[in-house]
Structure 1
Amino acid sequence: MPVGRQASEPAGVTSRVWPSGGQHLWPSGGSSSVQSHARGHLVYAATGVLTVHTDRGTSVVPANRIAWTPAGSTHRHRAHGDTDMRVVFLAPSLAGRLPDRPAVFLATGLAREVVLALSGPHHHGGTEPGYSRSARARLLRVLVDELREAQEQPLYLPEPRDDRLRAMARVLTETPEDNSSMAELGRTIGAGSRTLSRLMRNELGMTFYEWRTQLRIHHALVLLAEGHDITHTAHACGWANPSGFIAAFTHLIGSTPGRYRAGRHGAADSS
């Protein structure tokens, strides 16, 4: 990454970086160091799937979404499947128009093309993409306008603060196929279902069903990126049959898992 605190670049990563952003080609399973930046930045996976981990939660970034990480947020990236990661940094004047927390947005066709143009390999002297400063400023304004108009996507999973919710999150993350009820999980971790419901509502702003479904879809995106078929993915994520998985996936992602896995998952599928 071009700005901020970081360790040396992980082995196997090919990068083109400059002050305004850049491109990182990650092998499947590649992970960045823990880092933070003085400016907020957007990341987009032109191919593959990214997860962005912060101390506030995890964002999953398939190829029809753009993730936002505010300035100063400690974070790391991980690639699932061979991943072409694009990065665009924003000046404070533009960053102030986006949320002050991590978020995931729909990548409209225009937003996607702007990110690719600003982070592509066509650059002068290896320092910046081939646009004048004023042209880049105009493109960045268009990009932020597109994101503000796009619906924020439910692909950001907040990190629980309460120890009881953290314990339940560990169980659900390690065994997403587990169909235990909230009451059954509560007995395992020593908390009542009424208490857990209140904590989830207050801390996470969602129900147990919504939380577990999002967590499972996160896991499904990773499995699909790693080449697993739909039936295996459905069962590994807790669905008894593929049809229920397909319905939940389509509702959350805006594309069937079959179309997504085949690569036909651009913004047009998510409108």
Structure 2
Amino acid sequence: MAEDVKRGRGRPKAWDDKAAQNTIKSLDRALEVLVQLGQMQGGTLSEIAGELGQSPTTVYRVLSTFKARGFVDFDDESQVWNIGPAAFLTGSQFLRRTSLVERARPIMRDLMEATGETANLGIERDGKVLFLGQVETHATIRAFFPPGTASAMHASGIGKALLSRMDDKRQREVLAASKLEQFTPHTLTEPEAMIADLHAAKARGYAIDGEERNLGMRCIAAPVYNVFGEAVAGISVSGPTSRITEDRIPGLAEFVMKAAATLTTAIGGNGR
């Protein structure tokens, strides 16, 4: 019974049957068109059909279907088809999983062991911090941000680490959208005070959430960079102020910045 339930989560009962009946031939042919278009880096209908050995009519129907979903684009003037933004967005989910979340896991584990505190990974999404992963400390009292949790950037260590690397215009846009909601007496709610805090974070290389989201909890975070030197994620440690005391911040920050630099290198990034 348990085996049947487990199998049903992602595969039908005969999932291990390799027969051709388990594939959708029309979908397979359509994906051939998309893959070929990507390899060609664009082409006319006749060029694509010729490369695939398929009829232009069939290929046109496939391309039109993909175009309706944004997976391909068509230039009326040049009559050239190209890969569209939806294909990029779908592919980027794979890149994020393989190049960031998976590669971050052992680094976060090492960070947790080195500091004794919970390690977190997050990105900016729609003006908030989206937590992608966490390695919890063995200690009894701990911070908890399950993957998928969203939090205000201005009251988050990772959020402030990412904000500190944005240009002034983008910073103010994000802060204005958040309205600098106050969560605790320590939350920075004045724009100029927040900007000053972000400048300080940029100068020292790490950001601090000092009970700004939750009383009694402190977080230290540093940015992770992509190949263009853009801050695309943040890595942090968080825990109770009874353990992450102010005198421990500089030492813990060194571990956090080292972890962020290691992850930057692991994803082929260029730290500044």
Please give the TM-score of this superposition, normalised by the length of structure 1.
Answer: 0.25
Q: Which has the higher strand share?
A: 1
Q: Which has the higher helix share?
A: 2
Please give the TM-score of this superposition, normalised by the length of structure 2.
Answer: 0.25
